[in-house]
Amino acid sequence: MCGRTACTLAPDEVSRACTYRNRGGQRRQPRWRDGDAEKYRPSYNKSPQSMNPVLLSQRHFDKSAPVDECVLTSMRWGLIPAWFKENDPSKMQYSTSNCRSENILEKKSYKDPMLKGQRCVILADGFYEWQRKEQGKQPFFIYFPQSPVPEPEKRDPTISSKENLVCPPGEASSVLTKRMEDTGEWTGWRLLTMAGLFDCWTPPGGGEPLYTYSVITVNASPNLESIHNRMPAILDGQEEVRRWLDFGEVKSLDALKLLQSKDILTFHPVSSLVNNTRNNSPQCLQPVDLNSKKEPKPTASSKLMVSWLTSRAPSKRKELNTYEGKEEQKGNAKTKRKSAGGLQQWLQGADKKPRTK
């Protein structure tokens, strides 16, 4: 399942982080749908009912737009079917935050959007999952492995600048950051891309349409099944994202084939602070030592997320509200420790503040 996520990038950074290529291979940076950037609020601890960044085809809003043109929008987590008859979406009798891939064509709430091509990609730094233990539940943060860019003096001169910029920076210099902005190449945190379905509900008595979504889940991959038996359906790379969103070229049955369990994510244990949705601080993501419950020492390779944030001007950051509210061991231990360190450096010393503009 997937019941809690984190997404801490500012709206403009989300746009740059999900740059894509259309059918013709042309590079595109999706724009935010009018007014939706303001509806999205970065957070370390996002739960169902919150507004989150979602990528989808512009054709859903503009019938004259190319079907492979993407747009960013803010949608409420927890799908409200278009046919829902109540005036208040909170009166839904069952949870639709997740949708099992096996049942998509069996349940009307998901079958209708799927057959209409209402496919979307939910964006997040990563998601949280809880492992059942005798003494309670242990939360973990799960995300794409992050690879640091070599220091300028260590980069291979035979490799093109473009290739040097495809990974997030280990310790980004101002020159690298400026080049990122000039070229459009994203060198920050690689956002998790989760397959989802969305629908548009309008109150029976009239009112503003509400766009909502559900995260599609599959059986957990081998390295995650010790934590939980389900995981979000991950779209790995621009081509899978393009195919999932391109409902004109890729029909529903072919799109379903993309929903596979992929052994490509890494993870680390975090504090139980994340258990309470009122807690919204860097400590939610901070790696912990399960034996001592103390912050583990950083490793040589664990220098990613904090270096990304410290490379940005503090003036561009803005403190989040501490409470977003409803509006808003089978695993490979070595890999876990390696990637967790990158997150640790991100959080240490930077007094991390998610950027909101």
Tokens of 117: 């091509």
CB-based contacts of 125: which residues, under 8 Å, 6+ apart? Answer: 5, 6, 7, 8, 9, 143, 189, 191, 192, 285
Residue whose C-alpha is closest to residue 55's, from 167, 186, 194: 194
| Cα angle 183-189-192, degrees, rounded to a multiple of 5 | 115
CB-based contacts of 164: which residues, under 8 Å, 6+ apart? Answer: 149, 150, 155, 156
Kindly state the DSSP code that residue 281 receives in the 8-state scheme.
S
Query: Catalytic one among 2, 70, 120, 284?
Result: 2
Query: Catalytic one among 69, 99, 120, 129?
Result: 129
Stated length of the chain: 357
Q: Is 134 a catalytic residue?
A: no
Contact present, 274 and 292 (Cβ < 8 Å)? no
Cross-strand bridge partners of residue 98: 215
State how far the alpha carbon of 235 is from the alpha carbons of 54, 67, 264, 281, in Å.
13, 19, 10, 28
Distance between CA atoms of 74 and 56, rounded to whole angstroms?
Answer: 11
Q: What are the backbone dihedrals phi and psi of residue 269, each rounded to the nearest 5 degrees, phi first?
A: -75, 145
Residue whose C-alpha is closest to residue 11's, from 43, 37, 44, 50: 37
Distance between CA atoms of 237 and 48, rounded to whole angstroms?
Answer: 26
Tokens of 163: 């290739």
Count the Cβ atoms, other than its own, within 10 Å of residue 87.
11
Kindly state the DSSP code that residue 257 receives in the 8-state scheme.
T
Q: Is 7 a catalytic residue?
A: no
Kindly state the DSSP code that residue 91 receives in the 8-state scheme.
G
Residues with a known catalytic role: 2, 129
